[in-house]
Structure 1
């Protein structure tokens, strides 16, 4: 490892010079309907096999050109292709080409494979956002290939996440952000890394930048199995009002409105307001009474073509009741139905308020600077009963987990281009901090959500994460590029117990650091085949209440991984991404049902295969499929007793999408999750499932009509499953078995959207 550090430091600290190219083409690409820059558009010069990708400002550049005429091909998924001729002359300044792309149909032929493409250009995500109708906030997470979710608390609790052989619980091993603002909650009252994405309105999602493995320098804590940044629309092309209603008392309305007029749009200023209200009683015998309200507003202005100011404000509040997880034996003996409850007084409420501001600026030398600040106010209160009458036969085992927090954050990046040994070198330096001020973090035993029986844990937490990274990508040739990076994180933990008589003696502090190197290679064998090798380290932090007492290496357990993969486009209509991977963790997090918490365990190892394919049969019909295989095991346990509970070994998703220019769209999708061990010796099995869903919509003038069906075959499936030791009121001895939350039965939802 020391040799790797030395190599990376040597590469990252090389003195480089600025570009001095005389002949170049520089251009900018805009959306015609919103007059906003299109980041991630592909611009190519087919005659000389050069490809560039637009940056945040929609800007692209070609260097080292000979004098002459060049045909540019500009493509962006979901937009009409444009071609234009540009003349390069040594007697005139570099050419500036401006393009305005109109919205159009999705064509996989527009996808290009190149070693020089920006790593943030996520092709699979761009295709899926175009093809898949996002029905609700849960669908947002499912945009990540291979990611599965489970809801087990009335729709208001954050989803349980599964990815790459991980039961990630609510976010222990995936770095989730929204417009760069953190979603994961450190030292959360319910579980480390708790990630609630319900504050995002699905209709405002423009794209998802995601990746698997610990290979991105700008992704820190929790970025082990992968990361995802959900990016909201910079502008609306029109106003809309949506009304939806469905089975089980499901009602939803969404409004999206432009706040500035046409003149402001012509001056590249856009602002909009989005609202969402949802109510659902759910399919359980005890009504869930889920109420969710979302408000979101965003402004973006482009000034002098070199400065972008973006800001957003949002408010989210949700309340719900829940039936919780139920034991198999209670259903088998007829005590309850599979949609019944042992304790139907579970539930909770949560709220989140966000302010996010960023300033992007490019300079005359081509360098780029971004500064972002954000503030989050967050409230959470959850009532659960996992073990029923195991610990308290008289009052029951209901618990309350509660907290209030404020998050303050800043992150800044500076990028520039230089040369190393005569070849392009892209340099990025990033710094930042995140400060969580958590008040009244509580675990208490309660009865019927009204009476507090015992405060088990209550305290205040302050956690500070400072970080810096250096990231460089060197284009060794037009086909081969090397990316090397170092990231440094320093975390400070402070916990003050409010249960101690002398608060000054109850305060505990500690600090820990983590250095995370990354080294990635990309090689374009042909215009249709790209190979890549990614490697790196990352970490997930422990809860502050653990970290203040743990040795330093246990506060920030490391992850080490590698991917060997390919991106392949054998024909214009087919795009394939495949990867063999492995990931080692120094410490795993394991769910503990009787306390409703996640606690650390031993070392683990995972390896597997990811395969994604997108195929276009004709101009109207598309196929997508993802297959994910994994072998997760505990490294320090004996064979046969080394299974990782609930870790998926095989998952697959896919579907057919049909779209016409006459306004008809249809989507048929499937989800498959295989059986998996529910405990360490595999003596209990968490049952898998196969589900099918469908959506059909038709647009006529300003109206869109939509009908969707979920679980078309009406399968009796289990959405969330745990091995839990529990005792029912009439039982003398406890029983350890599968406890589960039933998945939704067949349901239908219809909606109409009016655009203006």
Structure 2
């Protein structure tokens, strides 16, 4: 969608070469080109990643909006997590543009974009084609072919990707992925149209996070698993269209899409906390959805008293028809049903913004957004399959959570830019303020009954307000150097969390983030380029947690007679730390080489220690990695490339969580355990991958050039 002028210091735009020059081991990691963003994985090579940005643990996509060619990737009211954003289907080699934003300052950003957004666009034309074959350690293999041809008056782009990966785990991931893209387009992004079909299928096993104390005591390997059947499968099929028209005085763009997605997840995070051996605590979650929607924008360029003005008006709508649910399972065989619902989720928005260029060095943008979110939940749960039925548990756990709900939300936006000042390194200064919203899972907003514990409880609001401000500067103090510094603040009225394993949303206290983001990009010479970035954030809850204080006092007094007392105490005291909130994130890289001949690069990534509980007693480890690339580019366009990951063999964590669980190995420590505990409180982690090497051979796909005879060149 056509963007207005850059209105914040943290807005960035990248092209295909920028993405290709970075080092990443999985496709979604290519999104880490966004400064300050961390993309991590805790459960196999097929599950949606975990995202971290500006002091926010964004779960699987709660507040970071991902789109590809105008189509949303985030899935609202998803069975596993609200905003679930499975980006495993993206093909970074096809990127034509990647635009990143942060904060609630943009009128055309709404649901799932209150912290940030990443807009990806594929190329329309790839006449030279691309053939890429990669192989490496731990069973990694990937084959990609892509090429476009002239067909009629337009361009037909076709791409096919095949991928498999086992990983270093005792139970291999056995990931098997197939991915295809077919697009016919005419004209350009500014004046033209396109029709795109995509198809994606992914199957995998997944080693989840494991308890640190069992590894430290030598009871299990850091590459081991608590349940070798964890994993899942996912599919995504889409058909989308784009039409755009631009003239000297106005412009229009319309994007429409239809998406069909399915997800099956088998997870076991607390191991044997509830069910004793030979059972375990695995759950099966399924989500089937059809998504229909469109985005439209029209803009005008005009003068008022000789002052240039640009106004945009847009409309967005989306409808998700969903069937999802979950229950307990054993070895991927579900034996009860906790939730099973038909969900209808609608989001509609009208927005506008106006940019006024008061002088050649001063401009302002004011915007406004109106959102209407509504939907319904209708259970199809058979109470005979509800857990506890034969023990006399109420059979109202489904219908008690049925209903309809709708809410209207308004969000003002404003920003000013002044500069450049040549005497200050061509500097531009930015100030932004905006309000935004988070859409909660509609099942949680309607729920009155917690099916996991069998009790009534309050539901949460459907929409949560966020406010934010940012001040920053971008400058080019010397030739080839582009640098920026941004100071940001963002508040949430409630840090609500959705539990996919219970099907409920939990109230959270208000939260606040304060921080800074620095970036530097230096083109030293035609053969040398360097970049660096640092983000630091102070993230805290506001107010006090009386509920947690009361619960902690009960634990201290052991009122419930917990069989694992006092190992259930650490991390349960009240506090103000925002759990999993990243404090320090840093990335840096150096790339060397001309368009032909030898090339290489070094890539460093640092993900600092984070509090895993609100009292800060359990913290994650800091994660650092260094990747290396070396290769040779031939005159005919082919290249051979070697990528080495984690070359310093850092034995840290890819991701960490703090909670209570009971592993299979814990029976050696507590042989008589029969349930009834909140678990052994500990840091649960997914280890950082060990050193690995991959080799890629890639070049132009010329063998199909004769197909270009189908149409004019």
- Secondary structure at 2:213 match in 1: helix
Matched, 1:740 2:622: no
Task: State the alpha-carbon separation in 2 of the partners of residues 358 and 615 from structure 1.
Answer: 35
Task: State the alpha-carbon separation in 2 of the partners of residues 611 and 596 from structure 1.
Answer: 39
Q: Is the 8 A contact 2:12 2:100 kept in 1?
A: no
Task: State the alpha-carbon separation in 1 of the partners of residues 215 and 498 from structure 2.
Answer: 23
Matched, 1:182 2:47: no
CA spacing shift, 1:139–1:660, aligned 2, 3 Å: same
Q: Among residues 533, 548, 558, which one is paired with 2:446 in the alignment?
A: 548
Question: When the two structures are superposed, what TM-score results if normalisation uses the length of structure 2?
Answer: 0.85
Name the counterpart of 1:578. Answer: 485
Q: Among residues 642, 653, 656, which one is paired with 1:721 in the alignment?
A: 656
Deviation sequence 1:664-690 (CA, Å, 0-9, x none)? 321210001111111000101111111
Matched, 1:143 2:33: yes
Name the counterpart of 2:706. Answer: none
Task: State the alpha-carbon separation in 2 of the partners of residues 736 and 552 from structure 1.
Answer: 28
- Secondary structure at 2:14 match in 1: helix
Aligned ranges for residues 36-55 of structure 1 at < 5 Å?
none
Deviation at 1:645, TM superposition (A): 1.0
Q: Is the 8 A contact 1:411 1:433 kept in 2?
A: yes
Deviation at 1:642, TM superposition (A): 0.1
Which has the higher mean CA deviation after the structures are superposed, 227-236 or 626-635? 227-236
Give the number of the structure with larger relative contact order, counting CA–CA contacts within 8 Å between residues 6 or more apart. 2
Name the counterpart of 1:530. Answer: 428
Question: When the two structures are superposed, what TM-score results if normalisation uses the length of structure 1?
Answer: 0.80
Deviation at 1:505, TM superposition (A): 8.1
CA spacing shift, 1:621–1:709, aligned 2, 3 Å: same
Name the counterpart of 1:475. Answer: 357
Q: Among residues 596, 599, 622, which one is paired with 2:529 in the alignment?
A: 622
Name the counterpart of 2:565. Answer: none
Q: Is the 8 A contact 2:10 2:486 kept in 1?
A: no
Task: State the alpha-carbon separation in 2 of the partners of residues 537 and 704 from structure 1.
Answer: 48
- Secondary structure at 2:521 match in 1: strand
Q: Is the 8 A contact 1:136 1:202 kept in 2?
A: no
Task: State the alpha-carbon separation in 2 of the partners of residues 615 and 306 from structure 1.
Answer: 30
Task: State the alpha-carbon separation in 1 of the partners of residues 292 and 694 from structure 2.
Answer: 40
Deviation sequence 1:334-361 (CA, Å, 0-9, x none)? 2211001111110100000011101112
Q: Is the 8 A contact 2:604 2:627 kept in 1?
A: yes
Task: State the alpha-carbon separation in 2 of the partners of residues 506 and 728 from structure 1.
Answer: 33
- Secondary structure at 2:88 match in 1: coil
Deviation sequence 1:704-738 (CA, Å, 0-9, x none)? 10100000101111112111211134132630111
Task: State the alpha-carbon separation in 2 of the partners of residues 650 and 121 from structure 1.
Answer: 17
Q: Is the 8 A contact 2:20 2:93 kept in 1?
A: no
CA spacing shift, 1:596–1:754, aligned 2, 3 Å: farther
Task: State the alpha-carbon separation in 1 of the partners of residues 347 and 499 from structure 2.
Answer: 27
Structure 1, unmatched stretches of 5+, are 1-38, 40-54, 57-114
Task: State the alpha-carbon separation in 1 of the partners of residues 405 and 500 from structure 2.
Answer: 28
Name the counterpart of 1:496. Answer: 378
Deviation at 1:118, TM superposition (A): 8.0
Name the counterpart of 1:655. Answer: 589
Deviation sequence 1:620-672 (CA, Å, 0-9, x none)? 11110010000000012379810011101111001001121324321210001
Task: State the alpha-carbon separation in 2 of the partners of residues 487 and 747 from structure 1.
Answer: 47
Matched, 1:204 2:94: yes
Task: State the alpha-carbon separation in 2 of the partners of residues 336 and 197 from structure 1.
Answer: 31
Q: Among residues 625, 640, 644, which one is paired with 1:709 in the alignment?
A: 644
Deviation sequence 1:305-349 (CA, Å, 0-9, x none)? 984011211000000011211111211222211001111110100
Name the counterpart of 1:102. Answer: none
Q: Among residues 289, 311, 321, which one is paired with 1:427 in the alignment?
A: 311
Task: State the alpha-carbon separation in 2 of the partners of residues 696 and 297 from structure 1.
Answer: 32
Deviation sequence 1:449-503 (CA, Å, 0-9, x none)? 02x2221111110000011001110111111101000000001120011126799
Deviation at 1:506, TM superposition (A): 6.6
Aligned ranges for residues 179-328 of structure 1 at < 5 Å?
179-260=69-150, 269-302=154-187, 307-328=191-212
Name the counterpart of 1:59. Answer: none
Aligned residues: 636
- CA-atom RMSD in angstroms: 2.5
- Secondary structure at 2:134 match in 1: strand
CA spacing shift, 1:225–1:116, aligned 2, 3 Å: closer
Name the counterpart of 2:367. Answer: 485
Task: State the alpha-carbon separation in 2 of the partners of residues 147 and 306 from structure 1.
Answer: 29
Deviation at 1:421, TM superposition (A): 3.4
Task: State the alpha-carbon separation in 2 of the partners of residues 118 and 298 from structure 1.
Answer: 32
Name the counterpart of 1:519. Answer: 414
Name the counterpart of 1:750. Answer: 695
Name the counterpart of 2:610. Answer: 676
Name the counterpart of 1:374. Answer: 257
- Secondary structure at 2:335 match in 1: strand
- Secondary structure at 1:388 match in 2: coil
Which has the higher mean CA deviation after the structures are superposed, 588-597 or 274-283? 588-597
